[in-house]
Amino acid sequence: MLALLALPALAQERRSGFEDMAPQTQAMQRDDTSNPGMLWALEGEDLFRQPAGPAGQSCASCHAEGSMQGVAARYPAWDTARQAPIDLAGRIAQCRTDRQGAPPLARESQGLLALSAHVGQQSRGLPIAPPADPRLDAARVQGAALYAERRGQLDLSCAQCHDDHPGRRLAGSIIPQAHPTGYPLYRLEWQALGSLQRRLRGCMTGVRAEPFAYGAPEYIAIELFLMSRAAGLAVETPAVRP
C-alpha cells in the first residue's frame, strides 16, 4: 500500500519548492545566519534541555544528544496508546504532558513550533522515509482522498493545483508541487514560523472552504499521504518559503 501511494501523480520530476524560489530566498535558507527559522530552532534547543513539570525532567533527560536524528523524516507515525496516527508536533506535545507532566503546548504556539523546528533540524538533509506500518494505511488512503477532493466555493482540490499545474503561476506566484520537506518553516508572507497544518488551513480558506481545527485527524491523514508522496526527498527544516 505504501509503495503504491508513494508514486506521485505528477507529470514532471519531483522537486522541492526550494527549487522554485528566487535565488535570494534560496540563499536565505542555505545560510543559517540568515535563515529566520533558525531563531525558533535555537529556542527549541534551549527548551529541549529545559526541565518542565513536577519531576523537573527535560526532553534531554530521556533523549540523548543526537538521538533525534532521522526522527522527523519518519513522521507521522502510529501511536499505540491512542490507536491512531500522530504527527511530530503531536508527539512532542504528548511527551510533554504525559511523561513530563508539564502544561500542554497549544498548536502553533511559540514553544511547540520551536521544539518541532529543533527536532526537525536534526533530520535536515536526510531522506523522507515514511514508516511501512500497515496500521497507517487507512489514514494514508483517507489523506489521498482528501488531497483529491474538490472543496469550497471555488470547487478546487489540492491535486488540481499541485499535481496538474506545478510550475505555472497563480496570482504571480509559482505553484509548487507541495512536498512537505521543510516544516515547520519560515514563510515570508507570515513573517513567522508555521506548521504544515497552518499552510493547509491557508489553502482551504483560499478556496473558501471551512478549515479543520488544528490537530484534526484529517490534517494528519493528509500529511501521511504527502510524506509518502515526497518519500526520498531531503528534509529541509527549518525551510524558508515566499
Q: Cis link prior to 238 (omega < 30° from 0)?
A: yes
User: Where would I find the beta strands (DSSP E) of the chain?
Assistant: 77-79, 84-86, 169-170, 173-174, 185-187, 192-194, 240-241
Question: What is the number of other CB atoms lying within 10 angstroms of the CB of residue 83?
Answer: 8
Residues with active-site annotation:
203
* CA atoms 21, 22, 25, 29: torsion sign: positive
Q: How far apart are CA 219 and CA 87, in angstroms?
A: 9
**Cβ burial, residue 104 (10 Å; 0-12/13-18/19+):** exposed
| 47, 115 Cβ separation under 8 angstroms | yes
SS3 state at 96: helix
